[in-house]
């Protein structure tokens, strides 16, 4: 049966609109809500009554600065419930809990090693989430759901991780597993998509409907929003910008193909560049100082610190990777004509060396009309963008349409 618009749908749509307004613009009165939405006063009042009864919204004070009958001001009730988000990274777990007003009330992260294996890593994730739930219950009472962000191709409908090349996980029914462990609604999302959603709900891109989030870390992930919706493609797998081929004869990628952009963009690529440049040009004194004379011991933080001290090898190495990232972003700007491109991920620890290079390369390589009004910026939420996006998914789906 085709979707036709009916009363129930209309009610849910209007419900969501009102909660969204309260999230972004509270405190507001019923009269404000009526003016903003165009819904009549009695409809607004009946929706608000239900939301107050449910503990989602609360009255806070009498609006006194207006002429006419004063109305009670409304806001989201922070104690409406708590949400837990967890990001399963390649080498870390990051867990947050927020109250219903999306204030972070609890956070914890731990290092992991992908070689520990799936069972051990999931157990650690359960333990973190359990801690978060205990805290959330004390603070806000009811739990509203769990959002999971993970670096892989996700069937969001069924909550199944299909493939995470860098974790080497395949076909893991995450929602099912987490539902057995915790009795809350569970949403699973690709980390790039989750980060785009995080920035859209709470970060750099509030209200921006055409945006590209791109993060270079262990892999090169992205999340793309087109007209306010995550780009998902026909079967749910899209935005795999890191696996565009740059050089068909290039380095082997974790996906099994050769020469993907992912093999040339990210902290590992920067370190490889440094090692190559040291071999070519001879080691440079800052790098040597930082790596304590051992070229193999160089880590990304050391390179960034060397660049901050004007070390030419470190700067060259970052510049080269920034140019390649800029080329990927140029492709995406020509294709999507976005309003905003957000750079994130571990590479962005060197944001002062990456973002200006990306901007320059995009200016040169994208059509000028496609970059009209474009803003290229660094992530506002940093390493928490994916987790917060996963939390946003739980909230967005509280009243499912």
Residues that bind a copy of itself (CB under 8 A): 1-2, 4-5, 9-10, 13-14, 17, 21, 36-39, 153, 162-163, 209-210, 224, 226-227, 229, 231-241, 243-245, 248, 255, 257, 327, 330-332, 334-339, 364-367, 369-370, 372-374
Cα–Cα separations (whole angstroms), residue 102 to 87, 222, 286: 17, 24, 44
**Burial (0-12, 13-18, 19+ Cβ within 10 Å), 249:** exposed
| Positions of E strands within 80-209 | 82-88, 92-98, 104-111, 143-150, 153-155, 160-164, 169-172, 186-190
- Token output for 58: 């609360």
Q: Between 46 and 364, name the residue whose CB sits nearer to a copy of itself.
A: 364
Residue 68 near residue 61 (C-beta atoms within 8 A)? no
Write down how long the chain is.
401
Q: Whole-number minimum distance, CB 319 to a copy of itself, in Å?
A: 15
Which residues share a beta bridge with 29? 73
3-state secondary structure of 354: helix
Q: Whole-number minimum distance, CB 134 to a copy of itself, in Å?
A: 37
Q: Whole-number minimum distance, CB 103 to a copy of itself, in Å?
A: 25
3-state secondary structure of 69: coil
Q: Whole-number minimum distance, CB 189 to a copy of itself, in Å?
A: 15
Q: Between 153 and 306, name the residue whose CB sits nearer to a copy of itself.
A: 153
Q: Whole-number minimum distance, CB 276 to a copy of itself, in Å?
A: 21
Which residues share a beta bridge with 109? 94
- Give the helix/strand (H/E) hosting 193: helix 191-202
Place of tokens 């565009």: 244
Q: Between 72 and 163, name the residue whose CB sits nearer to a copy of itself.
A: 163
Q: Between 4 and 64, name the residue whose CB sits nearer to a copy of itself.
A: 4
Q: Whole-number minimum distance, CB 226 to a copy of itself, in Å?
A: 5
Dihedral sign for Cα atoms in the order 221, 224, 230, 234: negative
- CA dist 230 and 193 (Å) reads 7
Q: Between 171 and 310, name the residue whose CB sits nearer to a copy of itself.
A: 171
- Give the helix/strand (H/E) hosting 183: none
- Token output for 70: 């004063």
Q: Look at residues 81, 70, 10 and name the one whose alpha carbon lies nearest to residue 46.
A: 10
Give the end-to-end CA distance of the chain in Å, rounded to a whole number.
16
Q: Between 92 and 237, name the residue whose CB sits nearer to a copy of itself.
A: 237
Q: Whole-number minimum distance, CB 235 to a copy of itself, in Å?
A: 5
Q: Whole-number minimum distance, CB 88 to a copy of itself, in Å?
A: 19
Q: Between 2 and 183, name the residue whose CB sits nearer to a copy of itself.
A: 2
Q: Between 23 and 124, name the residue whose CB sits nearer to a copy of itself.
A: 23
Q: Whole-number minimum distance, CB 315 to a copy of itself, in Å?
A: 20
Q: Between 37 and 109, name the residue whose CB sits nearer to a copy of itself.
A: 37
Q: Between 164 and 298, name the residue whose CB sits nearer to a copy of itself.
A: 164
Which residues share a beta bridge with 104? 98
Q: Between 267 and 338, name the residue whose CB sits nearer to a copy of itself.
A: 338
3-state secondary structure 217-282: CCCEEEEEEECCEECCCCCCCCCCHHHCECCCCCCECCCCCECEHHHHCCHHHHHHHHHHHHHHHC
Q: Whole-number minimum distance, CB 113 to a copy of itself, in Å?
A: 25
Pairing of strands 340-344, 229-230: unpaired
Q: Whole-number minimum distance, CB 140 to a copy of itself, in Å?
A: 29
């Amino acid at each position: 049966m085709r979707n036709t618009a009916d009363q129930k749908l209309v009610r849910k749509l209007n419900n969501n609109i009102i909660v969204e307004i309260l999230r972004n613009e509270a405190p507001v009165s019923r009269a404000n809500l009526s003016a903003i939405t165009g819904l009549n006063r009695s409809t607004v009042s009946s929706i608000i009554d239900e939301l107050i009864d449910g503990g989602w919204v609360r009255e806070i004070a009498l609006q006194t600065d207006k002429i006419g009958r004063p109305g009670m001001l409304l806001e989201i009730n922070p104690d409406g419930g708590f949400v837990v988000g967890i990001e399963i990274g390649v080498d870390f777990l990051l867990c947050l809990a927020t109250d219903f007003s999306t204030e972070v009330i609890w956070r914890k992260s731990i290092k992991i090693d992908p070689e520990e294996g799936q069972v051990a890593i999931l157990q650690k994730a359960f333990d973190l989430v359990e801690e978060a739930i205990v805290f959330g219950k004390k603070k806000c009472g009811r739990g509203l759901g769990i959002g999971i962000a993970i670096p892989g191709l996700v069937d969001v409908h069924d909550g199944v991780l299909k493939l995470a090349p860098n974790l080497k996980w395949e076909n893991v029914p995450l929602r099912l597993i987490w539902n057995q462990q915790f009795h809350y609604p569970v949403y699973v999302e690709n980390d790039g998509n989750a980060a785009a959603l995080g920035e859209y709900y709470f970060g750099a891109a509030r209200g921006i409907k055409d945006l590209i989030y791109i993060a270079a870390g262990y892999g090169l992930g992205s999340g793309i929003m087109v007209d306010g919706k995550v780009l998902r493609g026909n079967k749910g797998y899209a935005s795999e910008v890191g696996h565009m081929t740059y050089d068909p004869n290039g380095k082997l990628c974790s996906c099994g193909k050769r020469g993907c952009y992912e093999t040339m963009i990210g902290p590992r690529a920067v370190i490889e560049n440094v090692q190559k440049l040291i071999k070519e040009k001879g080691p440079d004194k800052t790098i040597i100082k930082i790596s304590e004379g051992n070229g193999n011991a160089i880590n990304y933080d050391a390179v960034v610190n060397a660049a901050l001290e004007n070390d030419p090898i470190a700067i060259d190495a970052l510049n080269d990777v920034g140019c390649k990232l800029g080329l990927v972003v140029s492709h995406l700007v020509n294709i999507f004509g976005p309003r905003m491109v957000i750079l994130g991920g571990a590479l962005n620890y060197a944001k002062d060396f990456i973002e200006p290079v990306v901007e320059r390369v995009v200016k040169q390589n994208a059509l000028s009309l496609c970059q009209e009004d474009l803003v290229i910026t660094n992530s506002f939420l940093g390493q928490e963008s994916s987790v917060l996006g996963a939390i946003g998914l739980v909230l967005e789906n509280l009243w499912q349409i």
